[in-house]
Structure 1
Amino acid sequence: MYLYDHYDQQIVNERVAQFRDQTRRYFAGELTEDEFLPLRLQNGLYVQRHAPMLRIAVPYGLLSSTQLRMLAHITRKYDKGYAHVTTRTNMQLNWPKLEQVPDILQDLASVQMHAIQTSGNCIRNTTTDQFAGVARDELVDPRPWCELIRQWSTFHPEFARLPRKFKIAVNGCVNDRAAIEVHDIGLEAVNSSEGELGFRVLVGGGLGRTPMLASVINEFIPWPHLLSYLEAILRVYNRFGRRDNKFKARIKILVKALTPEGFAEKVAEEWQHLKDGPSTLTDTEVQRVSQYFTAPDYLPLNDAPELLAEQDAQYPGFARWRSRNTTAHKQPGYVAVTLSLKKTGVPTGDVSEAQLDAIADLADRYSFSEARNTHEQNIVLADVEQTKLLQLWLEIRELGFATPNIGLLSDIICCPGGDFCALANAKSIPVAEAIQQRFADLDYLFDIGDLDLNISGCMNACGHHHVGHIGILGVDKKGEEFYQVSLGGNSGRNASLGSILGPSFAQDTMPDVINKIIDVYIEQRTAEERFIDTYQRIGAQPFKERVYASHH
């Protein structure tokens, strides 16, 4: 894990002191609401429907057990005893008191954490695959590259006031678990025919009210030029991005207006001034950052298929959990475990202070003192010995982390919605919960198989509903909350955006609607098809007919 040097620590400490003074001046009436707004946003502080919300940066999702314990302490002392994992792998507090935020930031700084650039029109948290460094299909560990991007983009004066917020994701694997096609910039590590490492660059993806998939603007940029090329992209955006209209300010609108080819030309032109300049990466710099991401001290183990098969036979619940919530590891004898934060009755992605302490403890005992937040709002222990899996499972069952639903229908991605967010048109948490309750039968969930269900409470699409195999969007109809359903979205490789099924539905009918959609799939599928495959083969019509048949 990246560790601060004295420069990093000094920057973060000075930022805390600066914000403490700004907060004091605001309460003393020396700063107006409007003057304080950009200052608090630069420190991740929003004012929501009921209370402030503080978004804490968790670079590419990595957390040490020390940091987890500090988050537990902060959640206990300054909040209502729970935190929330976001789809950008950050942590949110939903009830901090404004006057205590400087103290929270000071506590965070003591464990090398902060809330810098978690909001506002700047480069946000760079995200990647939650199995970075341990995945079997990995070409290169993306974490050093995420860290290089983070260091380059933090406090970069040129990118502090972009036309709109900006999100970058990096993928280093054969499969795309980082959803790079729906980011402002998506980077994919590739090797040239000569075996040189570089990046395929995609620009202009994003969800929100006009969802778009990113376009490839460069098939191969050699690694030394990565940052200067990113700088060229951001300069073009800064210069030509729409500042007159908030809804048309994202880079995707600019890429569409200029066409991907036209945009790529402008970037190439701009890059000529930057290429081989001061932001060119050197071997030394890449080595300096990479040394923080070396493999932990793995034991020389072998895989344990016989033992696991025996345990599976003895504990059917363990077998079922293992099939969904563990992922193959590149190191023999180890496995990556996903702790599900999707237990029915608990809002998606919420984690209590007691659970945060427990995760810290599990990380210390089972996974080299590290954990990772995931884009799907769960938490991963990346380095668990196969022989200790049963013991771990027995423990996490007691803690509420063992729901064997990773990748299944009840593993819902969901924004906080109208219960917390001032922007939302509709609540999303109760809808997620009602659907989870309807599909509480695990045998049935397993039979349905891989399915991404994503819910957003408004057009801003924080719940990524456009790329759910089934997407649900809360809409406001004359003060009533209704829900629009889309089908066929996909966030992995060959991403696709869902198509709206038809008129929206009332909240209390949503479990029935989802049930009918699933029924059509179960009736129509072939043996090896997942939901998305069946949908792509038969199209929307059969689903439409079933859902709207009794609706009239």
Structure 2
Amino acid sequence: MYQYTEFDKSFVRSRAAQFRDQVERWQSGKLSENDFRPLRLQNGWYVQRHAPMLRVAVPYGELSSSQLRVLARIAREYDEPEAEVYRLACEAQRKLGTLRLPTHYAHFTTRTNVQFNWIPLSKAADVMDLLASVDMHGIQTSGNCIRNISCDERAGVAPDEIADPRPFAEIMRQWTTLHPEFAFLPRKFKIAITGAAEDRAATEWHDVGLRLIRNEAGELGFRVTVGGGMGRTPMIGAVLREFLPWQQIMNYIEAVVRVYNRYGRRDNKYKARIKILVKAEGQRYVDDVNEEFRQIVEFDGGPHTIAQAELDRVSASFVPPALHKRTPANVGGVRPDLHAQAEIHPRFGKWLERNVALHKDPQMRVVTLSFKRLLQAPGDASADQLDTVAELAARYSAGEARVTHTQNVVLPWVHVDDLFPLWQAASDADLASANVHLLTDMIACPGGDFCALANARSIPVAQAIAERYQDLDELDDIGEIDLHISGCINSCGHHHSGHIGILGVDKDGQEWYQVTLGGADGENSSGVAQPGKVIGPSFSAHEIPDVVEAILSTYRDVRSADGTRETFIQTVRRVGLEPFKLAANGARCKTEVSL
């Protein structure tokens, strides 16, 4: 993991002290609400439906055990609203069917950040001091700036990796932080980087997507896509450079952002994202970026060219940790037989199959801890669970964990000999569901239970679907499938990229849901990124579980029977949407009759 320098530490501490002064001036009336608003947003403090929400930056998803423990402390001691605020919130939600809104939780987002939903602003400065004590903050988690840069959660450990993207992400993080030219863009701006053959970072769905590749001469560089995004107008990024030498990546991003800053829409926030500019201008935008890049390099001397020495300096923080090398003698002279243990403990076998991935070191594995279980919203983590993950990371993963864009946590440094005891410990904490990439491993935003922008609730729909599919044998038979749920068109739940996507919409003041099929983020069997297509009119909340069941039943009926184990997304692409559309509308009629 990247180790903060003394300058980094001083910078974060001074930012926390500055924020404390701003909070105190706001509380005393010396700073108006209008003046305080942009200051709190610059530090990650929003005001949501019921209470403030803090978004904590987690660059490229990496967290240390000490950072996890502080996040647990914040959840336990600060994520609790004032009594009257909580009473009114629960009363409002009770009318919609939600009996209790959880407190003392953190929430893992699809951008690999961490959010808290109930911390009063009166305690905000104390929380920022706690975060600064472990090199954390909320800088640039809000606003029209370059946001948290995300990576493949297996960066540095994946067998299919061409090069580790984390050093580049860290260099760019330092470069973009408080950069004046990037502080007031037409709209928020998101970058994702991967160094692997498989795109586990969904790069083509980002404003800028970067993939490390090697050209025919074996030189390292980036494939650059620009203009991806979800929201009201889902788009896959366009390729601007098939190969850009790695040294020039920041100069090129500066050209991309300068042209966007110059021509991006500022009169309409719904048309302000760079994807709209790229689509509207087409080749003209590409030409302008390449001309800007030429001038940056030729006339300005390429001021942001990455030197080999700088890459080496930052890369030194991302070398493999000093792991204790095992021999059979370390475990009584005989290495544990995982196959034998799986025979004795079938649930362990399922977990090995679903939650454990290969590592570039053959003695190591990458383990996913699942936070998807009944009565807990996708992405939510209690204070106790955060403490447990901190302990598991310290004991089994060199003190390191990573948040995934699918709202789980990965332990990247687990020795094969530790898999069984890790599974036992994770099972005791209810973090060992063997459901990774299966239906119940769904993505969902907080939705209308918390977010003021949402048209409908996401969490109750996710729970209703999960309740219907608790049989692991049935989930295995259905196979790999991405189900994503968003409470509004902003697509924080990434419904556009779900094999099955569910979008909350407002219909005459009531909660309804559109269903899309065929979306993909480019990972696993999906192959290529693409947005899903809407099937039919919207459905009511109580219809959605029946609609999902009808879609999955149709898939099991029409999937290929040639022994190739055709996945859901492969079947949808082969047979088209019509059979699923008919099944979904049939489920609606069935539900109406039963009512």
* Deviation of the 1:321 alpha carbon: 1.1
- Spell out, residue by residue over 1:43-91, the C-alpha distance to the aligned partner (whole angstroms, 9 max, x if none): 0000000100000001101001011111111111111321010111111
Which aligned pairs between 1:510-529 and structure 2 lie closer than 5 A? 510-526=544-560, 527=563, 528-529=565-566
Kept in 2, the 8 Å contact 1:301–1:332? The answer is no
Which aligned pairs between 1:152-191 and structure 2 lie closer than 5 A? 152-191=175-214
Which residue identity is paired with 2:292? E
Which residue identity is paired with 2:576? G
CA distance in 1: counterparts of 2:576 and 2:196, whole angstroms = 30
Aligned to 1:544: 581
* Deviation of the 1:367 alpha carbon: 0.5
Under a length normalisation based on structure 1, what TM-score does the superposition of the two structures give?
Answer: 0.98
Aligned to 1:535: 572
Kept in 1, the 8 Å contact 2:365–2:414? The answer is yes
**Larger deviation: 72-81 or 430-439?**
72-81
Which residue identity is paired with 2:566? E
Aligned to 2:167: 144
Aligned to 2:93: none
CA distance in 1: counterparts of 2:52 and 2:475, whole angstroms = 37
Aligned to 2:388: 358
* Secondary structure at the counterpart of residue 114 of structure 1: coil
CA distance in 2: counterparts of 1:35 and 1:370, whole angstroms = 39
Which residue identity is paired with 1:109? A
Which one of 266, 283, 287 corresponds to residue 308 of structure 2? 283
Aligned to 2:77: 77
Which residue identity is paired with 1:348? P
Kept in 1, the 8 Å contact 2:546–2:587? The answer is no
- Structure 1 stretches of 4+ with a deviation exceeding 6 A read 302-306
Which residue identity is paired with 2:127? I
CA distance in 1: counterparts of 2:521 and 2:294, whole angstroms = 33
* Deviation of the 1:297 alpha carbon: 2.1
Which residue identity is paired with 1:58? V
Aligned to 1:267: 289
CA distance in 2: counterparts of 1:322 and 1:509, whole angstroms = 35
- Spell out, residue by residue over 1:172-224, the C-alpha distance to the aligned partner (whole angstroms, 9 max, x if none): 00100000010000001011221111101000000001110000001111111
Instruction: Kindly indicate whether residue 240 of structure 2 is the aligned counterpart of residue 206 of structure 1.
Output: no
CA distance in 2: counterparts of 1:104 and 1:335, whole angstroms = 35
Which residue identity is paired with 2:477? D
* Secondary structure at the counterpart of residue 173 of structure 1: coil
Which aligned pairs between 1:57-456 and structure 2 lie closer than 5 A? 57-79=57-79, 80-259=103-282, 261-275=283-297, 276-300=301-325, 307-456=337-486
Aligned to 2:536: 502
Kept in 1, the 8 Å contact 2:543–2:587? The answer is no
Aligned to 2:97: none
CA distance in 2: counterparts of 1:411 and 1:330, whole angstroms = 25
**Larger deviation: 173-182 or 381-390?**
381-390
Aligned to 2:35: 35
- Spell out, residue by residue over 1:80-119, the C-alpha distance to the aligned partner (whole angstroms, 9 max, x if none): 3210101111110110110211111111111111110001
Kept in 2, the 8 Å contact 1:302–1:332? The answer is no
Distance 1:374 1:51, change over 3 A: same
* Deviation of the 1:551 alpha carbon: 3.2
* Secondary structure at the counterpart of residue 188 of structure 1: strand
CA distance in 1: counterparts of 2:198 and 2:25, whole angstroms = 50
CA distance in 2: counterparts of 1:297 and 1:424, whole angstroms = 46
Matched positions, count = 551
* Deviation of the 1:299 alpha carbon: 4.4
Aligned to 2:94: none
Under a length normalisation based on structure 2, what TM-score does the superposition of the two structures give?
Answer: 0.91
The CA RMSD over aligned residues, in Å, is 1.3
Which residue identity is paired with 1:74? I
Aligned to 1:48: 48
- Spell out, residue by residue over 1:365-399, the C-alpha distance to the aligned partner (whole angstroms, 9 max, x if none): 10000100000000011111111111111111110
Percent of residue pairs identical: 55
* Deviation of the 1:490 alpha carbon: 0.3
CA distance in 2: counterparts of 1:227 and 1:338, whole angstroms = 32
